[in-house]
Structure 1
Amino acid sequence: MQEQTASQFTLRPLGETDLAACHRLSLALKWPHSLEDWQFIYQLGNGFAIERRSDGQPPALVGSALCWRFGNAYATLGMVIVQAAQQGLGLGRQLMEQLLQELGSRNIMLHATPAGQPLYEKLGFAATGKLHQHQGSAMQSPLIPLPAGERIRPLGVNDIARLQALDARATGMDRSQLLAALNDVAEGVAIDRDGEMLGFALVRRFGHGRVIGPVIAPDAVHAKALISHWINTYAGSFIRIDVPDASGLSEWLSEIGLTRVDTVIAMLKGAPAKKDPGLQLYSLINQALG
């Protein structure tokens, strides 16, 4: 086998024309993302690619990494992939160092596999919790009763500002641009009490099914009511949901037929965001965006 050298690899900005190759990288890892999922997240951030050059062959994309900014203080990063045949050459570290340089002094969040955690720790990230991925072709979920005077209703065209405000309180970050983009591709419901929005849940197509998230609610009972609404709406369809361990929802999701298939580590470089203790993010948009 021909020995590989650093001169064979080029680190450069990721372009929209690279997304089909990025999709092939993620398929090799058995990630469920469709090409449309890649296109959606790419439009909201930016990233870098590593391509390999071999004599007589066109350049081949062998690595990717993306990041997303939320105001001037926070960011997330993800979709860090290095082709299996090129691992062990330091390419993942090169991608990460380029992203960190790109994001500057922002406080940065990511979700790491156990295999990737040591590299992220060397780059200054610390573990803050766990995230559980649940999925399955959901059966009917028991209805969760709400207190008197509260109801679940569809989101309307005039609700986006309230979504953005609740999300900012629950996450401590300005994700208004992200919520506006999600609003264009997702269905949503809110819990309403006398015209006040207490929480909401979005669902959208993802991979070969749908993903529920984000889910923002004042407590676990309201979060379960929102999640149950979408599970029952799409009973029998493939559903995915990513919930923080601190949400306390993982065991309940398993009980209603959504199997826990993976657990990753939430990590942070910098200071945590200041969140409203009266609201919580019960389900993520996805592991990359948070």
Structure 2
Amino acid sequence: MKTLNPSDITIVDLGPADAAEAQRLSLQEAWPHRLEDWQFLLDISKGVGAICNGKLVGTALLTPYGETGATCNMIIVDPAMRGLGLGRKLVERLLEKAGDLECRLIATEAGLPLYEKLGFVATGKIRQHQGVVTAKLSFVGVIDATPGDLDDLVALDRVALGLDRSALVAKLIDKQPFLLLRDKNGLRGFASCRPFGRGHILGPLVARDDEAFKILLTASIARHHGKFLRVDLTDAAAAEVAVVEAAGLAKVGGGVAMTRPGIRSAEPVGDARVYALAAQALC
């Protein structure tokens, strides 16, 4: 069998038409992404892929958010192609596309050394919980969002992240209505649940205070009784991990949140915080 060299590999741009081949790679990693999940990501991202002998053997996506930041995600290398520096090459191509934007990602322990070498710094930890919701929870005070709430959702999301995720939020609200919590001062928090992987994913969940987070978390879980649900919690959500686990969502992994500063950096601009990610790919 011929020994492969880096020169045998070509880096190309990916688009929605590459979703099926990209899903094949993620299934090899036992990632749960459906074809629809890949299409969702490719619709809002700039993708690059590695081609060897006409076959897709690596992927990486850059999902831009406004003029200040982006996430790097879906970085996958076929097991047969490892050891050739392909992962680094793919991430470097993403960073070229990012230019002076701040870049964020969720790293596995195995990926940490590479990302640190490329200038990423750890900023927190993510806890992934999933399972069939077994607890019957009660909740009050939340309402379903309507398209008229979009501007408020985007504004609160920007307060929490410092990023303009208006395109993402608009796409998510088309999938399934957000849950909102309002008071006399306006929007206090929101939570999204959408089809993903083996069932649904809860996130993003953004709130101005811990009590609002707990109300939205409880309501979101309660609406999925008897169904498979995943949630990726940030450090801000640590106090309510017991609620999640008691509902039947076991901790199955996680990752390290990392940021590579850009010339145009993105910083939270108010009191809201992200308690659950839209997805590890979308942060």
**TM-score, length of structure 2 as denominator length:** 0.94
Alignment match, 1:56: none
* Residues 1:24 and 2:63 are matched in the alignment: no
Cα deviation, residue 197, structure 1 = 1.9
Q: Residues 18, 235 of structure 1: CA spacing in aligned structure 2 closer, same or farther, 3 A cutoff?
A: same
In 2, the alpha carbon distance for the partners of 1:182 and 1:22 equals: 22
Q: Which amino acid aligns with 2:73?
A: G
Q: Please list, as runs of the form range in 1=range in 2, the aligned pairs for 1:163-182 lying within 5 A after superposition.
A: 163-182=153-172
- Cα offsets for 1:136-157 (capped at 9, x unmatched): 0012254467xxxxx2111122
Q: Where does the alignment leave 5 or more consecutive residues of structure 1 unmatched?
A: 54-58, 146-150
* Residues 1:159 and 2:149 are matched in the alignment: yes
In 1, the alpha carbon distance for the partners of 2:266 and 2:8 equals: 40
Q: Please list, as runs of the form range in 1=range in 2, the aligned pairs for 1:178-257 lying within 5 A after superposition.
A: 178-194=168-184, 196-248=186-238, 249-257=240-248
- The SS at the match of 1:140 is coil
Match of residue 86, structure 1, among 78, 81, 101: 81
Q: Residues 33, 196 of structure 1: CA spacing in aligned structure 2 closer, same or farther, 3 A cutoff?
A: same
In 1, the alpha carbon distance for the partners of 2:136 and 2:231 equals: 14
- The SS at the match of 1:187 is coil
* Count of residues in correspondence between the two structures: 280
In 1, the alpha carbon distance for the partners of 2:234 and 2:245 equals: 14
**TM-score, length of structure 1 as denominator length:** 0.92
- Does the CA-based 8 Å contact 1:202-1:213 persist in structure 2? yes
- Cα offsets for 1:115-169 (capped at 9, x unmatched): 0100001111111110111100012254467xxxxx2111122111111111111
- Does the CA-based 8 Å contact 2:193-2:203 persist in structure 1? yes
Which structure's CA Rg is the greater one? 1
% identity of equivalent residues? 39
- Does the CA-based 8 Å contact 1:139-1:232 persist in structure 2? no
- Does the CA-based 8 Å contact 2:125-2:254 persist in structure 1? yes
Q: Which amino acid aligns with 1:159?
A: D
In 1, the alpha carbon distance for the partners of 2:160 and 2:15 equals: 32
Structure 1: 4+ residue segments shifted above 4 A: none
Q: Which amino acid aligns with 2:149?
A: D
Alignment match, 1:129: 124
- The SS at the match of 1:129 is strand
Match of residue 281, structure 1, among 271, 274, 279: 274
